Homo-oligomer: A and B are copies of this chain.
């Protein structure tokens, strides 16, 4: 099976500010030629008037939390909000998670994304939804509480998720430890050991709020990243969400261990957590990726909106647009995300040998005319409405803005029904 994407304005993300007018040839899901292509394919996509980018990598989310979108939106901060959310989460069942995950997959694909790193419960249901949607998922084996709880989860829960994943190479189960304020050192250590045993990565929330840092110092005499390093947690390849309040020493810890920071600007703004200094992180040699966080603290899953926020917030917080140029932001949303998740040999750029995860963005819309600068146009002008086509390993998931792999109306209706039922439980 071969596919030719022709007449595109390709932003391959292989070289700074590079764009190419040309074609992309895909053979069995793998990119085999980029640029001037003179071959016929089984199917041809005319991408005239479209920008071709590597599909976005949403490096931090809690997919089933679409259920709680716009719920309890009046909380003062992260801790207050979690105290509203946790009792709801205790009530969720398999079908809730499955339907909400389907809806989340729809939302991700509609905004140009083919892979996400998740952290949530009953995750075999999310695996099922991701598989049906035809996208990729880095699923989290969530860890919280103490070491004994970690053992329980490794013994009782992880096998069930792994069974759902089977031999799929589009899905992977990472160790996802919630945070230093919800998981003990013993829990972190056990999760990290398990990640190394399994040959997977470790995902955690890190330094999201000032309170987290202060409490960690009070409890452990160390800042969050210092604590995790001292425990050997980062001996597993790791990525950490939020990273709003890292000290200079902690920045060096992340750099030394190759831990990626996943920036979540909407969530950090909305929950009044703070502003992550992403330029400083980048200049310190940390790989900075981008994520939406869950839809209940954002309140959507659009990476294209997240890019816009990341660029504007970095610019105003540092009072210079050089804090985050459009190309820097595109890197965060594509190749840096792939690198954070250990997928950069497979996806994250448009080049020969990579799997064909590609998003086509229409420039034939009022908000994209004239184009002038394609990098700025994607980061500053575009929105979900410009996402035309999404391919995942060469397969079309979205075309003309319409989902091909799932019934989105049904996913919306079922999710709404589940949510109304949850409120009554």
Contact = CB atoms under 8 A, between A and B. Distances in A.
B70 A380 contact: yes
B316 A380 contact: no
A73 interface: yes
B408 A272 contact: no
**How many copies of this chain?**
2
Contacts of A309: 309, 312
Nearest to A275: B316
A92 interface: no
Contact of A380 (B270, B376, B415): B270
A45 interface: no
Sort chain A's interface into a size bin: 35 or more
A169 to B, nearest CB: 27
A6 interface: no
A319 interface: yes
Nearest to A297: B380
A320 B369 contact: no
A70 B326 CA distance: 11
B366 A73 contact: no
B372 A384 contact: no
A107 B370 CA distance: 12
Chain A contact residues, majority secondary structure: helix
B376 A73 contact: yes
B274 A315 contact: no
A299 B274 CA distance: 25
Interface stretch (A186-194, A300-308, A347-355): A300-308
Nearest to A321: B272
Given A300-B381, A320-B272, A69 B369 contact: yes
A269 interface: yes
Interface string A298-334: 1111100100110111011011111001100000000
- Residue from A103, A366, A380 whose CB has the most chain B CB atoms within 10 Å: A366
Contact of A412 (B319, B366, B420): B366
A370 B311 CA distance: 29
Interface string A173-185: 0000000000000
Interface in A393-425: 408-409, 411-412, 415-416, 419-420
Contacts of A380: 70, 73, 270, 298-300
A311 B272 CA distance: 11
Given A269-B313, A321-B75, A366 B70 contact: no
A377 to B, nearest CB: 5
Nearest to A323: B272
Given A370-B416, A370-B419, A321 B69 contact: no
A366 B106 contact: yes
6 contacts: A66-B369, A103-B369, A265-B312, A270-B380, A305-B305, A364-B409
